[in-house]
Amino acid sequence: MSTFKAPKGTYDLLPPDSAKFLAVREAIAAPLKNSGYGYIETPGFENVELFARGVGESTDIVTKEMYTLTTKGGDELALRPEGTASVLRAALEANLHKVGNLPVKLWYSGSYYRYERPQKGRYRHFSQVGAEAIGAEDPALDAEMIILADQAYRSLGLQNFRILLNSLGDKECRPVYREALQSFLRGLDLDEETIRRAEINPLRVLDDKRADVQKQLVGAPVLRDYLCDACKAYHEEVRALITAAGVAFEDDEKLVRGLDYYTRTTFEFVHDGLGSQSAVGGGGRYDGLSEMIGGPALPSVGWALGVDRTVLALEAEGVELDIPAATSVYAVPLGEEARRVLFAKVVELRKAGVATDFSFTGRGLKSAMKNAHRSGARYVVVAGERDLAEGQVQIKDMDSGEQEPVALDAVVAELQRRLG
Q: Rank residues 122 and 418 by Cβ distance to ligand ATP and give the closer one.
A: 122
Interface segment toward ligand ATP; rule CB under 6 A; list 41-49, 171-179, 196-204, 272-280: 272-280
| Cα torsion 313, 300, 202, 54: sign | positive
Q: 295 to 334, contacts with ligand ATP by CB under 6 A?
A: 304, 306, 308-309
Q: Is 258 annotated as belonging to a binding site? A: no
- Per CB under 6 A, 161 contacts ligand ATP: no
Instruction: Say which residues have a Cβ less than 8 Å from residue 94's Cβ, sequence separation at least 6.
Output: none
Does residue 262 belong to the site contacting ligand ATP (CB under 6 A)? no
Q: Confirm or deny that 82 is annotated as ligand binding.
A: yes
Residue 182 annotated as binding? no
Single residue of 198, 231, 279, 369 touching ligand ATP by CB under 6 A: 279
20 binds ligand ATP (CB under 6 A): no
Residue with smaller CB distance to ligand ATP, 287 or 387 = 287
169 lies in the site for ligand ATP, by CB under 6 A: no
Cα–chain center distance at 34: 17
83 is in an annotated binding site: yes
Q: Does 288 bind ligand ATP (CB under 6 A)?
A: no
Q: Which one of 31-39, 168-176, 192-200, 275-283 is the stretch in contact with ligand ATP (CB under 6 A)?
A: 275-283
Binding piece for ligand ATP, criterion CB under 6 A, among 10-18, 39-47, 279-287, 319-327: 279-287
Q: Does 273 sit near ligand ATP (CB under 6 A)?
A: no
Q: Does 281 help bind ligand ATP (rule: CB under 6 A)?
A: yes
C-beta of 235 vs 309, nearer to ligand ATP: 309
Give the whole-angstrom CA distance, residue 190 versus residue 213. 7
Q: How far is the CB of 327 from ligand ATP (least distance, A)?
A: 31
- 35-74 residues in contact with ligand ATP (CB under 6 A) are none
Question: CA 101 to CA 312: how far, in whole Å?
Answer: 38
Residue 355 CA, distance from chain mean position: 27
119 annotated as a binding-site residue: no
The answer to whether 261 is annotated as binding is yes
Q: Which residue is nearest to ligand ATP (CB)?
A: 306
Is 84 labeled as ligand-binding?
A: yes
Asked if 280 interacts with ligand ATP (CB under 6 A), we say yes
Q: Is 416 a residue that touches ligand ATP (CB under 6 A)? A: no
Which residue, 56 or 288, is less far from ligand ATP as judged by CB?
A: 56
- CA 331, 333, 336, 341 torsion-angle sign: negative
Query: Is residue 258 close enough to count as binding ligand ATP by CB under 6 A?
Result: yes
Question: Rounded CA gap, 329 and 225, in Å?
Answer: 64
> Residue 120 or residue 340: which is nearer to ligand ATP going by CB?
120
Q: Counting contacts by CB under 6 A, is residue 32 touching ligand ATP?
A: no
Task: Kindly state the smallest distance separating residue 279's Cβ from ligand ATP, in Å.
Answer: 4
| Cβ-contact 306, 314 below 8 angstroms | no
| Residue 204 annotated as binding site | no
Give CA angle at 277 (262, 251), nearest 5°: 50
**Which of residues 87 and 342 has its CB atom nearest to ligand ATP in the complex?**
87
157 binds ligand ATP (CB under 6 A): no
CB of 72 to ligand ATP, least distance (A): 29
Instruction: Number of residues interacting with ligand ATP: please give it, by CB under 6 A.
Output: 19
Give the footprint of ligand ATP on residues 92-131 (CB under 6 A). 114, 116, 121-123, 126, 128
Distance of CA 222 to the CA centre of its chain: 31
Name the binding residues for L-histidine. 82-84, 114, 128, 132, 257, 261-262
Which positions touch ligand ATP (CB under 6 A)? 82, 114, 116, 121-123, 126, 128, 257-258, 277, 279-282, 304, 306, 308-309
